[in-house]
């Protein structure tokens, strides 16, 4: 007769524990990747919703809304490092609740130089809005090459050419490194903008271009 075997050997237990650890690691990695992709999708949706609200504001008021910290500088959500002096959450003035129910916040900040930011010039004729330094699921070298063509690229730049506005910035302005297409801030940020593409060029076109470049290309 055969004797029944009681329990497992130490080797068998180690093998089983190792397999479980691998499965947990794979599951956790897949979960993290999926949640990162979901947050990036949310960032794009938030920017698009804010862009729609900003354009609705301009159609009614005649100019783009001001940022809470004034013209030609970033105004941002609480915790972004560019938040309003009064700690208000309305970093885009007059937009909520008439044109958007509430101004969104980035789902996961990446330090105090990140989050949803907005800027406009003094005339309110050009604006940009960004999810700065928080992209999580599109950071590979392959996507770095494609970033200048990305529909949510943070600045108007073109890799290896001078066709982007930020590649031909006015000599009176110094382009921010955050708009260099190989810079980490550029590759980790989403952005949308408006004003220059949909309006006819005035007679003083060079000044108009400078105002556009000031907002899109020179903010740090």
| Chain segment 10-60, per-residue pLDDT in tens | 676 666 666 666 555 555 544 455 799 999 999 999 999 999 999 999 999
> If you average pLDDT over every residue of the chain, what do you get?
83
* Cβ–Cβ < 8 Å for 180, 218: no
**Neighbour tally for 103: CB within 10 Å:** 20
Domain ranges within the chain, ordered by starting residue: 40-217
The single residue listed with the structure tokens 């740090």 is 220
Of 1-5, 72-76, 158-162, which gets the smallest average pLDDT? 1-5
* Cβ–Cβ < 8 Å for 173, 213: yes
pLDDT number for residue 133: 94
The single residue listed with the structure tokens 């330094």 is 133
Helices within 1-117 (DSSP H only): 10-61
Q: What is the mean pLDDT of residues 126-152?
A: 83
| Whole-structure pTM value | 0.81
According to DSSP, residue 4 is labeled P
First-to-last alpha carbon distance for the chain, in angstroms, is 81
Choose among 163, 180, 161, 168: nearest CA to 209. Answer: 168
Percent of the chain with pLDDT over 90: 47
Strands 190-194 and 127-132: antiparallel
Write out the two tokens for 53. Answer: 């609200």
Write out the two tokens for 159. Answer: 């890799």
Sheet hosting strand 127-132, strand order edge to edge? 75-76, 115-120, 127-132, 190-194
If pLDDT is split at 50, 70 and 90, which confidence band does 165 have?
A: confident
**Neighbour tally for 67: CB within 10 Å:** 24
Hey, what long-range contacts does 170-174 have (CB within 8 A, 24 or more apart)? 170/206, 170/209, 170/210, 170/213, 172/210, 173/210, 173/213, 173/214, 173/217, 173/218, 174/218
Q: How many residues does the chain have?
A: 220
CA 175 to chain centre: 18
Alpha-carbon torsion, ordered 93, 131, 151, 166, to 10 deg:
80
């Amino acid at each position: 007769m055969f004797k029944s075997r009681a329990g497992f050997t130490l080797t068998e237990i180690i093998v089983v524990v190792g397999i479980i650890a691998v499965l947990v690691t794979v599951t956790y990695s897949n979960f993290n990747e999926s949640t990162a992709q979901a947050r990036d999708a949310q960032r794009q949706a938030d920017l698009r919703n804010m862009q729609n609200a900003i354009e609705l504001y301009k159609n009614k008021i005649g100019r783009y809304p001001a940022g809470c910290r004034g013209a030609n500088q970033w105004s941002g959500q609480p915790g972004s490092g560019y938040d309003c002096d009064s700690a208000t959450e309305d970093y885009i003035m007059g937009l909520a609740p008439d044109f958007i129910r509430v101004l969104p916040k980035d789902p996961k900040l990446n330090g105090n130089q990140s989050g949803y930011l907005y800027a406009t010039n003094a005339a309110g004729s050009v604006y940009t809005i960004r999810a700065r330094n928080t992209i999580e699921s599109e950071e590979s070298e392959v996507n770095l090459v494609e970033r200048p063509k990305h529909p949510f690229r943070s600045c108007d730049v073109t890799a290896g050419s001078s066709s982007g506005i930020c590649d031909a910035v006015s000599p009176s302005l110094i382009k921010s490194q955050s708009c260099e297409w190989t810079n980490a801030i550029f590759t980790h940020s989403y952005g949308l903008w408006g004003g220059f593409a949909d309006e006819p060029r005035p007679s003083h076109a060079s000044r108009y271009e400078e105002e556009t470049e000031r907002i899109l290309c020179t903010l740090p």
